[in-house]
Chains A and B, each alone.
Chain A
Amino acid sequence: DTAVSQTPKYLVTQMGNDKSIKCEQNLGHDTMYWYKQDSKKFLKIMFSYNNKELIINETVPNRFSPKSPDKAHLNLHINSLELGDSAVYFCASSQSGVLETQYFGPGTRLLVL
């Protein structure tokens, strides 16, 4: 009964490839997020969707394209992968409203060779 799940857990790929990471939440939340944790363990927001609508888009290269087919899913597609994309990507969800706790998935460890 995992609350926020991500697939795959690990992803090793070559530079220039295109890859996708999937996220699903079964908490009934209406807001989902993607965060990136770099090699120094610093976590930074990338995107946020509320009811399938993009509401936050930080300065992320347009090679990164999130897609939310429904409120329970937020996928991240990355084109033309670069070495600097290697990181851990975390999905999170919450109910809308600034008072709500965010719940995080287990992370996807991406290594670009």
Chain B
Amino acid sequence: KQEVTQIPAALSVPEGENLVLNCSFTDSAIYNLQWFRQDPGKGLTSLLLIQSSQREQTSGRLNASLDKSSGRSTLYIAASQPGDSATYLCAVRPGSSKLTFGTGTRLQVTL
């Protein structure tokens, strides 16, 4: 059974810092991995999707990497801003239509 874990559970950094969020999954037989952002009381916004054949994806200040064989992904946020404060979720797609979500990392960027 696929299990997805995110470390740390919560993170607080001062504005301007670069940071890394970690995601690990137990079954490497995945088709893709997706990073989402969830703001308090809001839905999920897709940030990046990495196919199993890819190693990384970049969008603006965000860079996501995927090491399928070791069951790990990282989300790198450069030059963090207070507007980046949210919960970040990673999710893997094991082959069926469903996504299996991680436990989330709650990020706070302080002034």
**A binding-site residues for B, Cβ under 8 Å:** 4, 31, 33, 41-45, 48, 50, 55-56, 58, 90, 92, 94, 96, 98-99, 101-107, 109
Contact = CB atoms under 8 A, between A and B. Distances in A.
A56 B96 contact: yes
B98 A101 contact: no
Interface residues of B, number: 25
Main DSSP-derived SS at the B contact region: strand
Interface stretch (B16-24, B41-49, B76-84): B41-49
A43 B101 CA distance: 6
Nearest to A32: B97
A58 B89 CA distance: 21
Contact of B32 (A45, A98, A105): A98
Contact of A50 (B91, B97, B101, B104): B97
B93 interface: yes
A96 B101 contact: no
Contacts, number: 59
A48 B42 contact: no
Interface string B67-91: 0000000000000000000010101
A58 to B, nearest CB: 8
Contacts of A41: 87, 103-104
**Central interface residue in B44, B51, B89, B95, by most chain A CB within 10 Å:** B44
B43 A98 contact: no
Contacts of A44: 101
B98 A104 contact: no
Contacts of A98: 31-32, 93, 95, 97
Given A56-B98, A99-B31, A104 B43 contact: yes
A43 B34 contact: no
A45 B42 CA distance: 18
Q: What 9 A-B pairs come out closest when comparing CB atoms?
A: A98-B31, A45-B98, A104-B44, A43-B101, A106-B43, A104-B43, A48-B97, A107-B43, A101-B49
